Amino acid sequence: MSRTMTTQDEKRLPVVSNRHVDPHSYPEGVAFLDGQYLPMSQAKISVLDWGFLHSDATYDTVHVWNGRFFRLGLHLDRFFGGLEKLRMTIPFDRESVTEILHNCVALSGHRAAYVEMLCTRGASPTFSRDPRQALNRFMAFAVPFGSVANAEQLQRGLRVAISDKVRIPPASIDPAIKNYHWLDLVRGLYDAYDRGAETALILDFNGNVAEGPGFNVFCVKDGKLSTPAIGVLPGITRRTVFDLCAQEGLAATAADVSVAALREADEVFITSTAGGIMPVTEIDGVRIASGKVGPITSRLMALYWGKHDDPAWSSQVNYP
């Protein structure tokens, strides 16, 4: 027997909102959490974790290319340095974290992977507002490699806009501690999208160029390279550019980079673990020099990817 649904019946029905339905659209990968390896879709944290509630966390990301970690030691240095500065502790030493990261990649089977290690402040059993009462929580994961720039953008160069948003000053947050305080960067991204650009750069507290969402920036003028020095994450790929320049006899310095200097550069590129060295050929709708990927950028890109097979710069993942 059927009947017409009444208003009273409707009141008894559970409220369903598509905004809160979990689509299970996780990337294929493996995570390490609470002492065990899990599919990415099962790696969850509490909504009471300070990492979620207050962005109270530090992390680092390293990539695997052709089955080899690239400069893993430098990423571990930065991660453990962030833990110390934030007064966090994890039950694993450097050797154990290395093993966990290798296991995540090996179990995932990915030959090109984006690999993250992170620690949140955790949650307090009593919901205390004292961070000393929280139980720090370590986790790691490996998912397919992703890049800030796609294949087309790597060929033609990125279109970037400079937002007037200001990066969190180093007196507030030490930029050497990799963190999730991204609202300034995300607001800059929306500024860029509104102007038809593909990504953004934001400013430091002096009005000079700082960095973008997950990347540093370099400019080339008269064969010399410069990159912002203040208020930016000292990225591992940024450091790699300095190392490559030293090897190739190219001058590279960290200094103030004005908006005008960036716009008037001969070449511009950005650097990130998520993509390596990536060319920029347009800023605020205006072409950089000829509007083509420059020779120094191309040279450094080739050198960078060539180092991925060098045992001095990379380490092999032992797949099952």
pLDDT digits (tens, 9 = 90+) for 105-145: 999 999 999 999 999 999 999 999 999 999 999 999 999 99
Q: Which residues fall within 8 angstroms of residue 299, CB to CB, at 6 or more apart?
A: 248
Residue 10 in this model has a pLDDT that exceeds 80 = no
At 81 the three-state DSSP class reads helix
pTM for this model (two decimals):
0.91
- Domain 151-308 -> CATH class: alpha beta
pLDDT value for 27: 87
Residue 3 in this model has a pLDDT that exceeds 50 = no
The domain locations on the chain are: 25-144, 151-308
Residue 82 in this model has a pLDDT that exceeds 70 = yes
How far is it, in rounded angstroms, from Cα 230 to Cα 220? Answer: 18
- Which pLDDT band holds residue 26 (cuts at 50, 70, 90)? confident
How far is it, in rounded angstroms, from Cα 267 to Cα 279? Answer: 8
Q: What does the mean pLDDT of the chain come to?
A: 93
CATH of the domain spanning 25-144, picked from 3.40.50.2300, 3.30.470.10, 3.60.110.10, 3.40.50.11540: 3.30.470.10
Instruction: Pick the closest to residue 116 from 51, 163, 162 (CA basis).
Output: 51
The long-range contacts involving 192-195, CB below 8 angstroms and separated by at least 24 positions, are 192/160, 192/161, 192/163, 195/161, 195/284, 195/285
